[in-house]
C-alpha cells in the first residue's frame, strides 16, 4: 500500500489540481481548476477444500490443497475540470464549468450591472424637459 501511495504522490501534484496558467492576448491569466478522485478495491476468498464426495481435506495435505485462494484488486483515477480561475488587472473571477452555475454567475454579476446602470443614468443629461413634465403652459419653442 505504501508503494501505491508513493506512486500516487508522483502522479498528482499541485499542477494537476491547479493547471498551468495560460495568458490571453488581453492580459488575462486563466488557470484551470480540476477535481482528482481515486478509488481502490481489493477482495479475496479462502475456503476449505471439499472434494466431490463432500469430504473435507485431510490434515496431512498441504495448505495449498486444503485452502484454495482467489483474489483480485483494482484501482481507478479520474481528473475532471471544475472551473477556471480568470485573473485580470483589477478582477479575479471563478468561472464554474457546471451548467447549473449560471444562476450563481448572474448573482455575482448583479452588483456590477446595477453600478453600470446607475452610472449611465447619472451621466444622462436632458437638454430639454421630457414631454410629460408640466411647464406651466409655456412653449419650449
pLDDT at 23: 92
Residue 39 has pLDDT above 60, yes or no: yes
SS3 76: strand
pLDDT at 60 over 90: no
Write down the pLDDT at residue 137.
62
CB 114 within 8 A of CB 121: no
Residues with Cβ within 8 Å of residue 49, at least 6 apart in sequence: 56, 57, 61, 65, 66, 67, 68
Give the pLDDT of residue 31. 92
> Which position has the higher pLDDT, 46 or 124?
46
Tell me the per-residue pLDDT of 82-135, one tens digit each, with 9 for 90 and over: 889 999 988 888 888 876 666 667 777 788 888 888 877 777 655 566 666 666
Q: For the whole model, what pTM was predicted?
A: 0.47
Separation CA 135–CA 141 (nearest Å): 12
pLDDT digits (tens, 9 = 90+) for 61-80: 555 556 677 899 888 888 88
Alpha-carbon distance 118 to 107, whole Å?
17
Amino acid at each position: 500500500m505504501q508503494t501505491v501511495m508513493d506512486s500516487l504522490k508522483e502522479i498528482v501534484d499541485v499542477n494537476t489540481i491547479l493547471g498551468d496558467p495560460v495568458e490571453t492576448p488581453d492580459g488575462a491569466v486563466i488557470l484551470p481548476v480540476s477535481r482528482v478522485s481515486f478509488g481502490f478495491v481489493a477482495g479475496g476468498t479462502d475456503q476449505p477444500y471439499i472434494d466431490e464426495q463432500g469430504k473435507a481435506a485431510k490434515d496431512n495435505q498441504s495448505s495449498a490443497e486444503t485452502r484454495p485462494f482467489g483474489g483480485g484488486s483494482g484501482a481507478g483515477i479520474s481528473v475532471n475540470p471544475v472551473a477556471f480561475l480568470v485573473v485580470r488587472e483589477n478582477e479575479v473571477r471563478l468561472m464554474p464549468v457546471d451548467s447549473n452555475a449560471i444562476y450563481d454567475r448572474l448573482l455575482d454579476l448583479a452588483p456590477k450591472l446595477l453600478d453600470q446602470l446607475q452610472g449611465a443614468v447619472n451621466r444622462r443629461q436632458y437638454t430639454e424637459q421630457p414631454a410629460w413634465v408640466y411647464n406651466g403652459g409655456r412653449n419650449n419653442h
